[in-house]
Amino acid sequence: MANDSAKGDETQPDVAAVVAPAPGGTLAAYVEHLQSFGQTAVLSRNSPYAWILGAPRFLNRLPFGYPEPPDPAEVRDLLRLRGIWVVGYTIAPDAAHPANLFHYVRRGPVFRLENLSRNARRSIHRGLKRFKIRLCTWDELADKGLAALCETRARHADPLPGPEVLRRMAERHRGLPLYDIWGAWDGDDLVAWMICTKIDDWVVMLATGSRTAALKDCPNNAIYYRLTAQYITEEGCRYVSCGLSTLRGDIDPIPLHQYKTRMGYEPEPVHGAYVVHPLLRPALQTRPGSWCLERLSMALPKVQSLRKAAGLSCVLSGRDKDPLAWIREEGGSTSD
């Protein structure tokens, strides 16, 4: 635990009071684990990255922010895999490939509370005062975490998970060295949690859940702070990633952007590129197809895959010529 996190919060437990931090593993080990329970995952043949499911039928390249384009032949091979419709990756932006996404990342060597804004510090102290922040076991997540996941999905108008989803996840992941689960506890209630995977010398936030009624007391702020301080300052990780900005047209990107940057994460501009299966190109890469997808997603708002496809098609079809216009309207810049 970083020294700053204890200042004024003597009631906080050690983060490892119940379970020790995971040692982490290699990218190859992560891919092998995903493959072990039938998930599509491919380790690149010649480069230090992998392809994993970011959404059903959608492969993303990991790590995010990798600057070089992949081998086109490799991408074609990925689109031949059963059930894969889109392959996405990020590259460094240039004149021919302008920035259309942000990669939110906190880099080392230190992460200190005093370097955050006054509002961020106030929210973090509120969360630390109200909740116990520590690492959790998979069994604790399975037993106590479902309500937070369901309420998070409901806030984003996403499909609700089945009652056994966290228990199945626990069975698949228990005992592996790759994952940490961070939790905010109110007595015996797990009001918020975050799953992170530790690969080589970097960390990625994978999944999160939080109870709606608890949000006023900032449990997520406290979790973000404690895990970032742990990984960057205490464990010396090169960086922590909390993902990419969204292309979904039904989600306002500004509140999440403001939250992540306030928590000390840098919005690094990247160019998101997407290669579509030939059979889906008329729907995703033409304006008529994009209009149809948008109307269909509005008619079926509970179908998450349709909403994601509609947002992607706005960019691929050229209907949205400036996906980061919202940041300039807020007075920011893609080079901030």
Helices (H), the chain: 3-6, 27-36, 72-79, 118-130, 138-144, 146-155, 165-173, 219-228, 253-262, 281-284, 287-299, 304-316, 325-329
In the predicted model, is pLDDT for residue 26 greater than 90? yes
53-57, 221-225, 261-265 — which is least confidently predicted?
A: 53-57
106, 99, 59: which is closest to 245 by C-alpha?
99
Residue 74 amino acid letter: E
Give the pLDDT of residue 336: 36
Whole-prediction pTM value?
0.91
Radius of gyration for the alpha carbons in the chain, expressed in angstroms and rounded: 20
Q: What is the pLDDT of residue 301?
A: 80
34 close to 43: Cβ distance less than 8 angstroms? no
Please give the span between the terminal C-alpha atoms of the chain, in angstroms, as a whole number.
Answer: 30
* Token pair in block for residue 8: 């004024």
Residue 9 reports pLDDT greater than 70: no
**Residue 4 pLDDT class (50, 70, 90 cuts):** very low
**Can you tell me the mean pLDDT for 241-264?**
90
Report the DSSP pairing between strands 58-62 and 50-55. antiparallel
pLDDT-based confidence at 332, cuts 50/70/90? Answer: low
What integer pLDDT is reported at residue 330 of this predicted model? 67
In the chain, the percentage of residues whose pLDDT exceeds 70 is: 94
- Could you give the C-alpha distances from 48 to 27, 28, 42, 71, 74, in angstroms and in order? 8, 9, 12, 13, 14
**pLDDT at 55 (0 to 100):** 85
CA distance 253 to 244: 11
Buried b (16+ CB within 10 A) or exposed e, 233-267: beeebebbbbbbbbbbbbbebeebbebbbbbbbeb
Is the per-residue pLDDT at 127 higher than 80? yes
Q: Helix or strand or coil: residue 202?
A: strand
Domain annotation for the chain: domains and CATH numbers = 3-24+104-244 (3.40.630.30), 27-103+268-329 (no CATH)
Q: Closest by alpha carbon to 320, among 249, 268, 256?
A: 249
**130-144, 157-171, 173-187, 294-308: least confidently modelled range:** 294-308
Contact 31, 48 (CB under 8 A): no
Cβ burial of 36 (10 Å; 0-12, 13-18, 19+) is: exposed
β partners of residue 88: 60, 274
Rounded to whole angstroms, the Cα distance separating 144 from 185 reads: 10
Q: Give the pair of three-digit tokens for residue 192.
A: 């918020």
| Residues whose CB is less than 8 angstroms from the CB of residue 196 and which lie 6 or more positions away in sequence, other chains included | 179, 180, 181, 182, 203, 204, 205, 206, 227, 231, 240
Please provide the average confidence, as pLDDT, over all residues in the chain.
Answer: 92
Structure tokens at 210: 């939080």
Q: Does position 8 have pLDDT exceeding 50, yes or no?
A: no
Predicted confidence band of residue 46 (pLDDT cuts 50, 70, 90): confident
Q: What percent of the chain has pLDDT over 90?
A: 81
- Output the six-digit token pair for 177: 């060295």
pLDDT of 11: 57
**CA separation for the pair 334, 263 (Å, rounded):** 18
Q: Which residues pair with 142 in a beta bridge?
A: none
